[in-house]
Amino acid sequence: MIVNFFFVLVGVFYANLAEYLIHRYLFHGYGKKGSSIFAFHIREHHLIAVKNGFIDLRASSKELIGMPVAILLHTPLWLLSPTLFLTVSIYGILFVVIHNMLHRHPAFAKRYFWWHWNHHMRNQNKSWGVVLPLADIITGTLEDNCMKVKNESR
């Protein structure tokens, strides 16, 4: 039981770190180069979200291809721990579901997933996490909560 709990924690941390690194360095790093296969992220997803007040109804198109591939690449984790593999897989599925839901409901995103709303609407060079801001907190890249700042200034 304790071992499984440990692997759940490791899985959440690992998946969050992977989300952070992929988003920051692949999608925004290589994505800034026009010829990169990751350029769609900035040219499509970010531009559409900014233009439409955070709404992007096409956010899932690339994720529905990429996430199953990412999960398949992680199948060797099953040999180390089925719990670890399942945690990473569930995190990946949650990423797709949450990310798409957020871009369809901007008020919900701004209130409860403010770090991702800030990433699109305030500063695309910070707040790389979508599901959780853990890696952003650790690396110091978490943009301030605009709702909290707004409420404290009253």
Share of residues in the chain with pLDDT > 90 (%):
74
Average pLDDT of span 28-35:
88
**Do residues 146 and 118 lie in contact, with contact meaning Cβ atoms separated by under 8 Å?**
yes
**Prediction pTM value:** 0.89
Q: Look up residue 35 and give its two tokens.
A: 């010829």
Q: Look up residue 139 and give its two tokens.
A: 């690396």
The per-residue pLDDT of the chain, averaged, comes to 91
Other C-beta atoms closer than 10 Å to the C-beta of 124 total 16
Which candidate, 112, 91, 74, places its Cα nearest to that of 20?
91
Tell me how many domains the chain contains. 1
Q: At what angle do helices 82-102 and 60-73 cross, to 10 degrees?
A: 170
Domain that holds residue 23: 2-152
pLDDT in tens, 39-65: 888 888 998 999 999 999 887 778 888
**Do residues 19 and 129 lie in contact, with contact meaning Cβ atoms separated by under 8 Å?**
yes
pLDDT at position 20 is 98
